[in-house]
Amino acid sequence: MGYSHVYAEAKADPDGFWMKAAEAIDWVTPPSKALFDDNAPLYEWFSDGTLNACWNAVDRHVEAGHGERIAIIHDSPITHSKHEITYSELRDRVASLAGALRAKGVEKGDRVIIYMPMVPEALEAMLACSRLGAIHSVVFGGFAANELAVRIDDCQPKCIIAASCGLEPGRVVHYKPLLDGAIEMADHKPEFCVIFQREQEVAHLEEGRDFDWHGFQYGVEPADCVPVEGNHPQYILYTSGTTGQPKGVIRHTGGHMVALNWTMRNLYDMNPGEVFWAASDVGWVVGHSYICYAPLTFGCTTIVFEGKPVGTPDAGTFWRVIQDHKVKCLFTAPTALRAVKREDPQGALIGDYDIGCLESLFLAGERADPDTIIWAQDKLGVPVVDHWWQTETGWCIAGNPLGIEKLPVKIGSPSVPMPGYDVQILDEGGHPVKDGDLGAIAVKLPLPPGTLPTLWNAEARFRKSYLDHFPGYYETGDAGYKDEDGYLYIMARTDDVINVAGHRLSTGGMEEVLASHPDVAECAVIGVADQLKGQMPMGFLCLNAGTQKSAEDVVAECVKLVREKIGPVAAFKLATVVQRLPKTRSGKILRGTMVNIADGKEYKMPATIDDPAILDEITEALKELGYPK
Ligand code: COA
Ligand code: AMP
């Protein structure tokens, strides 16, 4: 059965299609139907079934006699270590951790923040929460204490699970002091913290509040899996929106399990027992879905990789990991491949390893540029699949479903919509445009299982951000077009979100930080094209009259401030002082025009511009920074 048939089947009978997919999941009480639309335009899936995500990801494989199968491989070129955990070991470790959390009062529905680097314990913490029906919220390690504090106040965790430290090449990330700082900043205080002490840096534990990961498990009863409803939130994952206040994307348990499990065979062409590697981080949605839940639920081996594509120790690391662990499918961000390609343009290091086991490479997180795709196709000799998705959807909106049918590749396009996604390109008035015309990309409601039902504690924001603009549709925030064969092309964001090294960041959030600098009167942050990272943030600062400090000093302080408030992941290093910002007559900053100047693109003088001369000043300031490149 080919792609068109499967897609049409899901469209004609969504309930039948997803109920069939749901048979691959273990339910305590099977759902009576798939879609629950009584509260439209808010939709839910499998609401009246009960299940447990940890059971599906771990225990059921042990029960089925696969306890000796490797569940997790930890490969850390930074600590020069490799470690394997079988499914039965994983079950025991997770049950014990869950038991200890329960003994301290963590129950179904409680929130637990997880702030950990790429160690298997991060997955164990996620799974232990799922085992209890507690709702985890993983925070990426590259965020600063302030970002962690914002998330603590928003989801109000009973407990925070953290590691003592993370390891970046040449630098120890001091998680524990960051955690302490965040708790101090936040209004909400967790009842207790659990700290996984790494030998590279042992952290101070606060008497009475902090417990040692191993010590607090002593003597506790392991916990069994707690059945939860299909619409019980399994996790909250914060992602960047247009302001500094991140959006708490909720994932419901039933649809999450069903959809992810479906993708493993149909999209990634995997079989249980094979090795899947998503070279991302558990702090991102790719990590949630494809380092943790999907490969484990499907019974694959997953790799937790603590390293970088280059420099740990070299641009051959990816190929070494593929060889050593017999990886069948690699999933990474184009930026990682660009980093490899820059250091090893001929792909000479690939020849040092036997990567015959690799059957496909999937790319996501940002637009995959044709050069990178062609390089990877040439050097690796396997299908290279660009696929498009978002934190909100949790899985792929458009891709090339290798497990169903390998469709012809069109470079520059992430191919076609996955079953359940009715993707339309709309004009400003919400009308579908002709093939080939650019417009806002929207998905006709309902979205398929596994996608966000709403935002944590922010239904009004959910409606405003995603549903109100185009009634009856989910607004993706991306712009692009569809060709005559139904292939999608994702061209740009329609909001203030930028994508730096596959990391989603808010320029609005950075502007809020810059505006808090005492010498900054006004500012704008844009994303400029970058050969390695796709985009880089660039700040324009207008200073208060009478400021005593030099422009260089203010710029340096602003760079430091963004790192302190948002974190190193913002990669905010470029900023300049200007006299004025270009604006429309109604006062809207012309960020798009500034981007075009920085990227050296042709642009039309905006008809509504207040003072065209300001664009010359901006052009000069950019020239001094070396832009356009
Ligand atoms: N914890 C703490 N700090 C982190 C971090 C983490 N988990 N991840 C990144 N950082 C820091 C980096 O150390 C760097 O700090 P620095 O300014 O002191 O050098 C900063 O955040 C920016 O990181 P990044 O943009 O990732 O750049 P990099 O120079 O470290 O690495 C690449 C460049 C291309 C190798 C890297 O970005 C990469 O591998 N990207 C892949 C992205 C990815 O997998 N995205 C997930 C979506 S699928
Ligand atoms: P995130 O929520 O961090 O996964 O980021 C989602 C955003 O990244 C999308 O809305 C797109 O802007 C961009 N993105 C992700 N994958 C792709 C892709 N394959 N092609 C183009 N853009 C992508």
Q: Sorting pLDDT into bands at 50, 70 and 90, what band is 244?
A: confident
Closest to 226 measured CA to CA, from 104, 400, 109, 376: 109
Dist. CA 63–CA 58, nearest whole Å:
9
pLDDT of residue 586: 87
Q: Sorting pLDDT into bands at 50, 70 and 90, what band is 480?
A: very high
Which are the contacts of 114, defined by CB distance < 8 A and separation ≥ 6?
Answer: 122, 125, 126, 129, 136, 137, 138, 139, 160, 161, 162, 282
- 219 pLDDT above the threshold of 90: yes
**In this structure, which residue's CA is closest to atom 4 in ligand 2?**
390
- 412 pLDDT above the threshold of 90: yes
pLDDT of residue 185: 97
- 242 pLDDT above the threshold of 90: no
pLDDT digits (tens, 9 = 90+) for 187-202: 999 999 999 999 999 9
* Contact predicate 540/524, CB 8 Å: yes
Residue 569 Cα to ligand 1 midpoint, Å, equals 6
Nearest atom in ligand 1 to 333's CA = 48
524 lines ligand 1 (CB under 6 A): no
> What tokens does 548 get?
């005593």
How large a percentage of the chain has pLDDT more than 90? 96
**In this structure, which residue's CA is closest to atom 44 in ligand 1?**
280
pLDDT of residue 124: 98
**In this structure, which residue's CA is closest to atom 15 in ligand 1?**
568
* Contact predicate 261/21, CB 8 Å: yes
Indicate which ligand has the atom closest to the C-alpha of 490: 2
Indicate which ligand has the atom closest to the C-alpha of 366: 2
Report the greatest alpha carbon distance in the chain. Answer: 74
Nearest atom in ligand 1 to 569's CA = 21
568 lines ligand 1 (CB under 6 A): yes
Closest to 117 measured CA to CA, from 234, 195, 29, 185: 195
pTM for this model (two decimals): 0.96
**In this structure, which residue's CA is closest to atom 2 in ligand 1?**
142
Q: What is the mean pLDDT of residues 585-596?
A: 92
Reading phi first (left if > 0) and then psi (alpha if -120 to 50, else beta), residue 445 is in beta
Dist. CA 242–CA 597, nearest whole Å:
22
168 lines ligand 1 (CB under 6 A): yes
Indicate which ligand has the atom closest to the C-alpha of 287: 1
151 lines ligand 1 (CB under 6 A): no
CA distance readout (Å), 613 to 313, 551, 576, 580: 49, 21, 18, 10
Our mutation pick for probing the ligand 2 site, out of 478, 506, 569, counting the most ligand atoms within 8 A of Cβ, is 478
pLDDT of residue 46: 98
Least confident residue range of 44-48, 278-282, 583-587: 583-587
**In this structure, which residue's CA is closest to atom 27 in ligand 1?**
501
Q: What is the mean pLDDT of residues 101-125?
A: 98
239 lines ligand 2 (CB under 6 A): yes
Residue 579 Cα to ligand 2 midpoint, Å, equals 34
pLDDT digits (tens, 9 = 90+) for 318-336: 999 999 999 999 999 999 9
Domains and CATH numbers, the chain: 87-226 (3.40.50.980), 501-624 (3.30.300.30)
Q: Which residues pair with 138 in a beta bridge?
A: 114
Report the b/e string of 483-508 with b at 16+ CB within 10 A.
Answer: eeebbbbbeebbbbbbbbbbbbbbbb
> What tokens does 331 get?
């999933």
Q: Name residue 182's amino acid.
A: A
**In this structure, which residue's CA is closest to atom 22 in ligand 1?**
569
Residue 570 Cα to ligand 1 midpoint, Å, equals 9
**What angle in degrees, to the nearest 10, is found between the helix axes of 551-565 and 145-155?**
40
